[in-house]
Amino acid sequence: MADNLRIRKGVHNLSDAEAGAFRDAYRQMQAITDNRGFAYFAGLHGVPNWYCQHSTDTAPAYYFLPWHRAYLYNLELAARSRVSTVTLPWWDWTLRPPRQSGIPKIFEDRTADGGKPNPLYSFRIDLTNPSIHHATRRQPGSADDLPSQSDVDDVLSTGDWTDFTLALESRLHNLVHGWVGGDMAIVAVAAFDPIFYSHHCMVDRLWWLWQVRNGNGSMPDDLLDTVLPPFNMQVRDVLSVNSLGYDYAAAQTVVPI
Ligand SMILES: [Cu+2]
């Protein structure tokens, strides 16, 4: 295991200092309007640029996992150019009380860091075309309705690449978008909610846990050369998180080097 990998942790395992650094990075990015800023990244997924790839648009070629991995990678680099120690934390929706219940507290607090607005709680969408002007909001369901560990194990036990990516996207990922509700439930604006990236980080982590077991499985070869716009990356460039320079904390002991 290389020492220089960036380690992504669970939101529930962040120290106060790490949570503060994460807020600081997002707070700085949210104040920037150029292509280093939060609004720019949010606008790549749905409105106004619509680069995201979901299975419903791309069947039978499934770029959902590779595209979102490239997306998070670039977002994380932008966050690290603000605060160099930051890595993207994942939201483990399978945790239950007392460890966590529903939306993690760091995303739920309205204020943080001495009464400042919490940059993880909401972000104001200000777009002219289409005209959308509001602060993101959520309408979460009951905490018991989030996917459980056995739901996750079920999806992870799917050996075939196509079955796996479809199950992860439709049974876990979509369910959590709908569960959070509000903007997160609408593809066009979901990425403006700051929790989006930690939700997708969990999805990316589950793909990696599956890859540790299955490699690339039966992923079709012709998928590998596909470019993932607007990123200058192909599917083959994002297959290994270690090659991208990061790892997932809980996976460290089981990842073959
Ligand atoms: Cu999503």
Over the chain (257 residues), what is each successive 10-residue block's mean pLDDT? 83 96 98 96 94 80 92 98 98 94 97 97 95 97 96 95 94 97 97 98 97 89 91 96 93 43
| Spacing, Cα 174 to ligand 1 middle (Å) | 7
* CATH code of the domain occupying 6-251: 1.10.1280.10
What does the alpha-carbon distance between residue 208 and residue 52 come to, in Å, rounded to a whole number? 20
pLDDT at 257: 37
pLDDT at 217: 82
pLDDT at 62: 87
pLDDT at 251: 52
E strands of the chain, at which residues?
6-8, 111-112, 116-117, 124-127, 132-135, 246-248
| Spacing, Cα 216 to ligand 1 middle (Å) | 21
- 193 three-class SS: coil
| Spacing, Cα 246 to ligand 1 middle (Å) | 21
pLDDT at 53: 86
> Which pair of tokens denotes residue 154?
């079920």
pLDDT at 244: 97
* Tokens 């994942």, residue located: 90
| Spacing, Cα 207 to ligand 1 middle (Å) | 14
Are β-strands 111-112 and 6-8 bridged in parallel, bridged antiparallel, or unpaired? unpaired
Are the CB atoms for 207 and 241 separated by under 8 Å?
no
pLDDT at 3: 65
Domain boundaries, the chain: 6-251
| Spacing, Cα 3 to ligand 1 middle (Å) | 31
Per-residue pLDDT of 78-95, as tens digits, reads 999 999 999 999 999 999
| Spacing, Cα 133 to ligand 1 middle (Å) | 21
**Phi and psi at residue 19, to the nearest 5°:** -65, -40
What does the alpha-carbon distance between residue 80 and residue 50 come to, in Å, rounded to a whole number? 24
| Spacing, Cα 62 to ligand 1 middle (Å) | 14
